[in-house]
Homo-oligomer: A and B are copies of this chain.
């Protein structure tokens, strides 16, 4: 932490800052520049200290220097984390494709889709049963019966399943059916939910909030890791910008950024990231070229009849075509696409 004094701050004001630093059990390091006096704070600082020092007379600003996140930082944990689900490893050399409908609607829809995406090469099945919705008047998912359907189709196809959990008290229920717990963008800072998912020990995927910075996202991840759960991956799903042509603006640059600053795997969701089905394939290829460890794609048998987010869903033919485009792009950046389990496990 560095305290920048105002131009013309008095010796008495400087002494006041030093006194407060020492009262906190820390040491100071004084540096008088041409224009300004700067006081470094040495020792293990604590976050509240920033506000406390900034209030003192003569202080212009206080600049934190340490990174606020530790457990998810690559500086403290240089080797890559891999998440293991069924026979699939996320965060290794293979790019993992997660596919399925936005929302589980019924058995036929889910089974057909699971078979189609598996045949095309997806290794994990997605399907929402608790759906966050901006309006109370929209479809909000099947709830627990949807979880049962996911478990059944998992058994029939051998595909592990990922689904969203929205409340701390539902974590246990969802964890009893799902292989990966998804935390949605709107819940990125639902701190009680983060801790409950952390305590569950289940593999989890944390989506970036609509307007979250990388630092806030990693601090949210820190909540989960701090509970002892290391099986965590991050997912970019588009941020809010002024552009209205797309539903969100998918931030591809966050993929190499996360790879640099954190050891956690990074997944890209071009369906929510763009909101338009015809942008999904180019953006998924871009994410793969930029180094994504996985892709999450919405697929529906009849997107124009979907109960949720049809406009951003691929139909079976488009998904199959996309998978055939993905393989050469993965190869061009020295990676391969993970293969689905050959047989049904039981």
Contact = CB atoms under 8 A, between A and B. Distances in A.
Copies of this chain, count: 4
Interface in A173-217: 186-187, 189-192, 210-216
Nearest to A50: B311
A289 to B, nearest CB: 4
Interface in A298-319: 303-311
Nearest to A328: B332
Contact of A55 (B139, B246, B287, B311): B311
Contact of A66 (B36, B245, B286): B36
B166 A167 contact: no
Interface in A1-22: 2, 4, 6-8, 20
Contacts of A63: 2, 63, 65
Nearest to A260: B278
A249 interface: yes
Interface string A230-262: 000000000111111110011111111100110
23 contacts: A8-B75, A38-B40, A51-B309, A51-B311, A52-B304, A55-B303, A55-B310, A56-B304, A63-B65, A136-B219, A136-B222, A167-B167, A187-B190, A190-B190, A215-B245, A241-B241, A243-B254, A250-B253, A252-B286, A286-B290, A289-B329, A325-B333, A329-B332
Contact of A307 (B42, B48, B137, B214): B48
B66 A35 contact: yes
A46 B219 CA distance: 34
